[in-house]
Amino acid sequence: MKVEKVPVAVLVSGRGTNLQALIDACDQPDYPARIVKVISNVPDVAALDRAAAAGIPTVVVSHKHRSRDDFERALVAELEGVSWVALAGFMRLLTNTFLSAFPGRVLNIHPSLLPAFPGTHAVAQALSAGVTQAGCTVHFVDAGLDSGPILCQGSCAVHEDDNEDRLAERILKLEHALYPMALRWAVEGRVFVEGGVARAVIREGEKRWWVETD
Ligand code: GAR
């Protein structure tokens, strides 16, 4: 059966491994989204090369030397015809100027079990806090710092000998599994927010809470 693919844009700032996971998912004929544009706020990042290699139009919209408002208006201007926006390592906060153009239709992935450890260096924050479980979260974006309603999470144990790189690598594997799944739910109209809490209509075999057991 041919699926109707929903147009999605991905916003990036860096290496783009989550973007790659989304590109690979969208390449599947039965995956219900297609990436129509990749926007980076930073020039010359690997994410732009990944998008170009996949034949996806790219654009750099720099946040430098302009107001936040002006930056966000420029982003919105690039996103005509886009239904959902996925932030994938996009390292800028967004305000209502952007969010009001995509109400309830912006997702983000973050490498911690939110609401713990928002912001930068989430994995280092988790290690410093001495937690025994770490992980990642896909959430709706609001104007706060990694603070919108939580859609799904994946967790893994923190090993005795973990350093930031090793733990980040295991979390990243979870990210790459979770984000395409969450975006599928989103574009299929199976997620919504009720009283500030995200809900998802999940099917057999799907889950909102993943546990990596090694
Ligand atoms: C990912 O770990 C993502 O969760 C994180 O940045 C990394 C980007 O990697 N995002 C945040 O910290 C957002 N607050 P990638 O460019 O290889 O996808």
The pLDDT tens digits for 171-214 are 999 999 999 999 999 999 999 999 999 999 999 999 999 999 76
Q: What is the mean pLDDT of residues 155-169?
A: 97
pLDDT at 38: 99
Query: Ligand 1 centre from 130 Cα, in Å?
Result: 21
Instruction: Kindly state whether residues 5 and 81 are assigned to the same domain.
Output: yes
Same domain, 6 and 98: yes
Domain count, the chain: 2
Percent of the chain with pLDDT over 70: 99
Q: Please provide the average confidence, as pLDDT, over all residues in the chain.
A: 97
Residue 3 is predicted with a pLDDT of 87
Q: Report the phi/psi class of residue 186: left, alpha or beta, with left for phi > 0 and alpha for psi in -120 to 50.
A: alpha
Residue 167 shares a structural domain with residue 96: no
Same domain, 186 and 118: yes
Q: Which of 68, 103, 138 is the last residue of a domain?
A: 103
Q: Is 110 considered catalytic here? A: yes
What Å distances lie between residue 140 and 11, 16, 72, 94, 208, CA to CA? Answer: 14, 19, 18, 12, 14
- pTM of this prediction? 0.97
Average pLDDT score over residue span 10-31? 98
Residue 181 and residue 82: Cα distance in Å, rounded? Answer: 19
Claim to verify: residue 125 and residue 205 sit in the same structural domain: yes
First to last CA, the chain: 37
Do 154 and 174 meet the contact criterion of CB atoms below 8 Å apart? yes
Residue nearest atom 12 of ligand 1, based on CA coordinates:
110
| Residue with token string 């690039």 | 78
93 and 114 both lie in a single domain: no
Summarised one tens digit per residue, pLDDT across range 49-68 is 999 999 999 999 999 999 99
DSSP-derived 3-state class of residue 199? strand
Boundary (domain end) residue, out of 61, 88, 103:
103
pLDDT for the residue 78? 98
The H or E element containing residue 76 is helix 68-77
14 lines ligand 1 (CB under 6 A): yes
Domain of residue 58 covers: 1-103
Cα distances (angstroms) measured from residue 151 to each of 99, 128, 171, 209, 210: 17, 26, 17, 9, 12
pLDDT band for position 36 (cuts 50, 70, 90): very high
The residue nearest atom 1 of ligand 1, judged by CA position, is 89
Mean pLDDT of 2-12: 95
> CB of 18 closer than 6 A to ligand 1?
yes
Report the pLDDT value the prediction gives residue 213, as an integer from 0 to 100. 78
**One domain for residues 90 and 133:** no
Q: Which of 17, 38, 109, 151 to mutate to test the pocket of ligand 1 (most atoms within 8 A of CB)?
A: 109
The C-alpha atoms of residue 205 and residue 214 are separated, in whole angstroms, by 21
Instruction: Taking the CA atoms of 147, 153, 159 and 162 in sequence, report the sign of the dihedral they define.
Output: negative
Single residue among 63, 81, 103 that ends a domain in this structure: 103
